Chains A and B, each alone.
Chain A
Amino acid sequence: MEPVTILIADDEPYIVRSLSYILQREGIPFAVATDGQEALQKVRQHRPKIFFLDIMMPKKSGFEVCAEVKKDPALRSTHIIMLTAKGQEEDKQKSLTAGANEYITKPFSPRQVLARVRELLGPATGA
């Protein structure tokens, strides 16, 4: 089995579905978590290169998960992209404070997301 490159953490099933469809089509191995705790457990298990992290999740918020991942030296190379429905300055600031590398505001475009993923993974992967 190919190592997981991307981890998607969101409690909204349709958002997960849309993202996973694209990654599947592109042949990028990924895993899914639907709450904060599961996300933390899976990020430690798979050590993905890219971590899509929703903010408003049950059990643990995206900010908390983000802070814990950034504290873990083994996960230093994980690139965290926060997914937030609130396009507000406050959340942006909070995400960056928690250590997120970047954030995407909902509603987002799957094409844009894919382009960013390709960029981050480099030419070696994909296709």
Chain B
Amino acid sequence: MDPLRIFKSVRTKITVLILGVGLLVVLMGLSVTYGVARNHLQNTIGAQYRELALETGQKVQLIIEANVQEITVLALSSDIRSSVESANAVYSKKRLSEADVRKRIETVVALWKRSQGAEDPFVRGFLANPASGLIHGFLQDPDERSEHFSLIVTDQRGLLVGADAKPARVFYGDEVWWQAAFNGGRGSTYISDVKLLEEPVEGSEKVYTITMAVPVTDATGRRAIGVIKTDLRIKEFFEAVTQVHLAKSDHTMLASSDGSLIFCPIFLVRNHTLQPALMRAIFKDEAGWAITRADVHYGGTNTIDGFAPVPVASDIHPASFNGNRWYIFTSQNPAETYAPINTLLNWILLTGGSGAVLLLVLGLRAANYVVRPLQDLRQGVKLIGFGNLNHRLAIRTGDEIQELADEFNEMAFKLQTAYTHLEQKVAERTEQLAAVNKITRTISSKLNMIEIFDSICDEANKLLDYDRISLSLLDDHRQQIAFRLVRMKNEATVVHDRPRSRTGTVIGRVVESKRPFIRADVREASEFVEDRLLRNEELRSYIVVPLVAQNQSIGTLNLAGRRPGTYTDRTLEILIPIAEQLAIAVETIRLFQETKKLDQLKSDFVSKVSHELRTPLTSIKGFAEILLSYEDVDPKTRQEFISIINEESERLTRLINDILDISKIEAGKLEWHIQPLSPSEIVVHTVKSVRAVALEKNLPILIDVPENLPKIRGDRDQLIQVMDNLLGNAIKFSSGGHITVQGAQEDGAVRISVIDTGIGIPAEDLQKIFDKFHRLGDTRSGKPRGTGLGLSICREIILHLGGRIWCESQPGKGSRFHFTVPVWREGLPDGPPDPEQPEASPSRDSGRTILSGDA
């Protein structure tokens, strides 16, 4: 798994944990708040609504009682009583039977129906008595009586006694209200349900009313002698109930125990009945509050209802209120009821949310705080693991992570110490080995050099003033000081053979300019390395003279003295001849060593030449002797032997010529005729001369050398010899296929390639074929043997002309010999190139160079 993801997940875990705890707290707060607040809210609102219902119920009772009181007061007035008594007198004076009474009532009813308005004399008889006058006066009071209308008084049988205006009827004895109020002469108060009167008074509009009736009693007040009844507009009741408000959507209603709504501020009454569940909850004798399903006006559960029964006086007739009981109840839209809680919850959610965001940020920071050191730790441990033992973990958290980091640092330190120790040992050992190696390598030459140096020092001792004398010699490339011989006065010579840079040294400058340098006092100068070094040795003045051999600086001779100004131009007069002598000596040693090397090469050459010359000689001598010894050699064999002798003689001649050639070239004694030459002409010429031999072997030679190739700079005879050699080899080592000669221009030169399909050359031999006397070939083939010098001569010629020669081959498939010759350019001297050029002076490294100037 990707380590980064692990750290990411640690961070996530920490963050989620912190966030989770935070959210849990918020959720707990929310639920606790919700529960407590809801309970509290319900209790508060419930209690309020109970009080409200109670108050409203009492208010309704008070209105009822006030109105009952008003008509009771009327009933007690003497005018009413006397009018009723005088009406009742009819029944008692004439001793009428019950049937007579009924007949009389029917007569009155019939007469009433026939009457024409209030002005009818029959009607006027009813409206002109004292009772009617009182009622009229009562109803005329504009402030107090506005709710009353159709106020009437009846006698003991229900016949109209008096009224304010002409009522629709004259007999009321069969009405519920009359029978309840008269109550068989015992009298009682009657209050009707709310009802719709279509035409309570003639010509009036229909109106919702409540009917109230009380008995008119005799003087004792115990016996009912008539009834007084009023129809009340319900406005006062309605307002008393419906205008009660605590909040926006709450409303107080008056319901009847039969389930019908009597007053409701929103809907028309009687439009619906209450659900039984709600009725059971609120129709109770005691005031209280309940939580119900809201089904009145607003949907939803948990509606809070406050309720209270409307109290009634004990003397109310049971038929009152249509035999039911009235209840007040107040309820509210639950949405509003619980709105504060919701608001509260919203607030809590909002604060909780903000808190969560804050927690998230804090959590992330906390996680980073924990994770970052871990990451640093991991990164550092990884670095150390990869071998960067210098790395140290910089963790300062002051906790377990830091402890861990410190332990890693400790470990890395120990590892580092161990490694450094090991490295030091390896370096020391390597240095020792290198030093030993170098000393061994240079010891022979140095021994001679020290002898020479010592003799020079002895000589200088007599002539010059010095405290220190040294010889610095450059390496072969003249770039570094290869080694130095140093001798303090009257001490032994010390060899310093560690190569040193010559940059910034006086030696460097002297070597470069080939002119001596004198420093009078090193304390006054510090431009060179020596100035500083000598100062450290308390030497003040010095002189450096170049050693020049063959016009090249090979080193310097240096003297230094403790006294400033030791060396002057006069010193030079003595020192320069010594330096010249020394340079010659050094160069002589070098030349001697080189000569020894050349001598070895030469003796090898001589030995090889001897061997090569003796081999054909042996054949010649052998067969000549056989022919001389045996006279009976058959003619065919004789012929064979004579051919061999001839062939080997030719080989001997070739060999001698080749040896002479190569000796001449190497000795620089060959005469070169440099001229512009056409590559194609040389190729065509050579191919012509060998074509006959090739055709004998059935080997076609193809020439692919464009005639328009540029002229090359070469010697015609030598180049023909090169081509002869290469073609000769190609023919010799091919037994089929064909030979191709190609020519092409490349980079200031022309390249000629001789390509054969012969036996090829093994890879290990490719390196040696240009060496002298290295021969290839099948010894059993009996083919004419080469001299082993042909390719050697080719190489010498091509190198001398400034070209390259090399070979590519695949054994069994053929070989490709290539050589290049520079293109002719006007203005260049006709003679051979500068013999100083290393590639043009092959004598020095002949026998070593393998593939010619290919390197």
Which residues from chain A sit less than 8 Å from chain B, CB to CB?
Answer: 11-15, 17-19, 21-22, 25, 34-35, 56, 58, 85-88, 106-111
Is the CB–CB distance between A88 and B622 below 8 Å? no
The docked-state distance in angstroms from the alpha carbon of A120 to that of B630 is: 22
Give, as a whole number of angstroms, the nearest-CB distance from A14 to chain B: 4
> A22: nearest residue on chain B (CB-CB)?
B626
Q: Is B550 among interface residues, defined by CB-CB distance under 8 A?
A: no
Q: Is B629 among interface residues, defined by CB-CB distance under 8 A?
A: yes
Q: Is B644 among interface residues, defined by CB-CB distance under 8 A?
A: yes
Give, as a whole number of angstroms, the nearest-CB distance from A105 to chain B: 8
Is the CB–CB distance between A86 and B622 below 8 Å? no
The docked-state distance in angstroms from the alpha carbon of A17 to that of B614 is: 16
The docked-state distance in angstroms from the alpha carbon of A17 to that of B617 is: 14
Q: Is B343 among interface residues, defined by CB-CB distance under 8 A?
A: no
Is the CB–CB distance between B779 and A110 below 8 Å? no
Give, as a whole number of angstroms, the nearest-CB distance from B505 to chain A: 49
The docked-state distance in angstroms from the alpha carbon of A109 to that of B628 is: 12
Is the CB–CB distance between A110 and B607 below 8 Å? no
Q: How large is the interface on B (under 10, 10 to 19, 20 to 34, 35 or more residues)?
A: 20 to 34
Is the CB–CB distance between A13 and B622 below 8 Å? no
Give, as a whole number of angstroms, the nearest-CB distance from A113 to chain B: 9
Which of A22, A85, A108 counts the most B-chain CB atoms under 10 A from its CB?
Answer: A85
Q: Which residues on A sit within 8 Å (CB–CB) of B780?
A: 13, 34
The docked-state distance in angstroms from the alpha carbon of A16 to that of B612 is: 16
Is the CB–CB distance between B644 and A85 below 8 Å? no
Is the CB–CB distance between A107 and B618 below 8 Å? yes
Known: A86-B611, A109-B625; 16 extra A-B contacts, CB below 8 A, are: A12-B779, A13-B780, A14-B622, A14-B623, A14-B644, A22-B626, A58-B779, A86-B614, A88-B610, A106-B614, A106-B617, A107-B617, A107-B620, A108-B622, A109-B621, A110-B625
Is the CB–CB distance between A25 and B614 below 8 Å? no
- Tell me the chain B residues, 603-659 only, with Cβ under 8 Å from chain A: 607, 610-612, 614-615, 617-623, 625-626, 629-630, 637, 644, 648
Q: Which residues on B sit within 8 Å (CB–CB) of A35?
A: 779
Give, as a whole number of angstroms, the nearest-CB distance from A124 to chain B: 23
Is the CB–CB distance between A85 and B618 below 8 Å? yes
Which residues from chain B sit less than 8 Å from chain A, CB to CB?
Answer: 607, 610-612, 614-615, 617-623, 625-626, 629-630, 637, 644, 648, 779-780, 782
The docked-state distance in angstroms from the alpha carbon of A109 to that of B625 is: 7
Is the CB–CB distance between B618 and A106 below 8 Å? yes
> A91: nearest residue on chain B (CB-CB)?
B607
Q: Which residues on A sit within 8 Å (CB–CB) of B614?
A: 85-87, 106-107
The contact of A15 among B607, B610, B619, B629, by CB within 8 Å, is B619
The docked-state distance in angstroms from the alpha carbon of A12 to that of B621 is: 14
Is the CB–CB distance between A15 and B782 below 8 Å? no
Give, as a whole number of angstroms, the nearest-CB distance from A101 to chain B: 21
Is the CB–CB distance between A110 and B782 below 8 Å? no
Closest 3 CB pairs of A and B: A18-B622, A107-B618, A14-B619
Interface of A is mostly: loop
The docked-state distance in angstroms from the alpha carbon of A110 to that of B612 is: 20
Q: Which residues on B sit within 8 Å (CB–CB) of A18?
A: 619, 622-623, 626
Which of B622, B626, B629 counts the most A-chain CB atoms under 10 A from its CB?
Answer: B622
Is the CB–CB distance between B615 and A111 below 8 Å? no
Contact A13 to B779, CB < 8 A, known contacts A85-B618, A107-B621? yes
Give, as a whole number of angstroms, the nearest-CB distance from A89 to chain B: 12
Q: Which residues on B sit within 8 Å (CB–CB) of A15?
A: 615, 618-619, 622
The contact of B610 among A17, A85, A111, by CB within 8 Å, is A85
Q: Which residues on A sit within 8 Å (CB–CB) of B607?
A: 86, 88
Give, as a whole number of angstroms, the nearest-CB distance from B224 to chain A: 168
Contact A86 to B644, CB < 8 A, known contacts A15-B619, A22-B626, A106-B615? no
Give, as a whole number of angstroms, the nearest-CB distance from A63 to chain B: 14
The docked-state distance in angstroms from the alpha carbon of A18 to that of B648 is: 13
Give, as a whole number of angstroms, the nearest-CB distance from B593 to chain A: 23
Give, as a whole number of angstroms, the nearest-CB distance from B97 to chain A: 181
The docked-state distance in angstroms from the alpha carbon of A85 to that of B622 is: 14
The docked-state distance in angstroms from the alpha carbon of A13 to that of B612 is: 14
Give, as a whole number of angstroms, the nearest-CB distance from A108 to chain B: 7
The docked-state distance in angstroms from the alpha carbon of A12 to that of B612 is: 11
Which of B618, B619, B637, B648 counts the most A-chain CB atoms under 10 A from its CB?
Answer: B618
Q: List 30 A-B contacts (CB under 8 A).
A: A12-B615, A12-B619, A13-B779, A13-B780, A14-B622, A14-B644, A15-B615, A15-B618, A15-B622, A17-B644, A18-B619, A19-B622, A21-B637, A34-B780, A85-B610, A85-B614, A85-B618, A86-B611, A86-B614, A87-B614, A88-B610, A106-B615, A106-B617, A107-B618, A107-B622, A108-B621, A109-B621, A109-B622, A110-B622, A111-B629
The contact of B782 among A13, A107, A109, by CB within 8 Å, is A13
Q: Which residues on A sit within 8 Å (CB–CB) of B619?
A: 12, 14-15, 18
Is the CB–CB distance between B630 and A25 below 8 Å? yes
Give, as a whole number of angstroms, the nearest-CB distance from B410 to chain A: 64
Q: Which residues on A sit within 8 Å (CB–CB) of B612?
A: 85
The docked-state distance in angstroms from the alpha carbon of A87 to that of B615 is: 12
Q: Which residues on A sit within 8 Å (CB–CB) of B630?
A: 25
Q: Which residues on A sit within 8 Å (CB–CB) of B615?
A: 12, 15, 85, 106
Give, as a whole number of angstroms, the nearest-CB distance from B21 to chain A: 91
Q: Which residues on B sit within 8 Å (CB–CB) of A19?
A: 622
> B610: nearest residue on chain A (CB-CB)?
A86
The docked-state distance in angstroms from the alpha carbon of A12 to that of B780 is: 8
Q: Which residues on A sit within 8 Å (CB–CB) of B782?
A: 13
The docked-state distance in angstroms from the alpha carbon of A111 to that of B630 is: 11
The docked-state distance in angstroms from the alpha carbon of A87 to that of B620 is: 18
The docked-state distance in angstroms from the alpha carbon of A25 to that of B626 is: 11
Is the CB–CB distance between B622 and A11 below 8 Å? no
The docked-state distance in angstroms from the alpha carbon of A57 to that of B420 is: 56
Give, as a whole number of angstroms, the nearest-CB distance from B516 to chain A: 51
The docked-state distance in angstroms from the alpha carbon of A18 to that of B644 is: 10
The docked-state distance in angstroms from the alpha carbon of A87 to that of B611 is: 9
Q: Which residues on A sit within 8 Å (CB–CB) of B610?
A: 85-88
The docked-state distance in angstroms from the alpha carbon of A87 to that of B610 is: 9
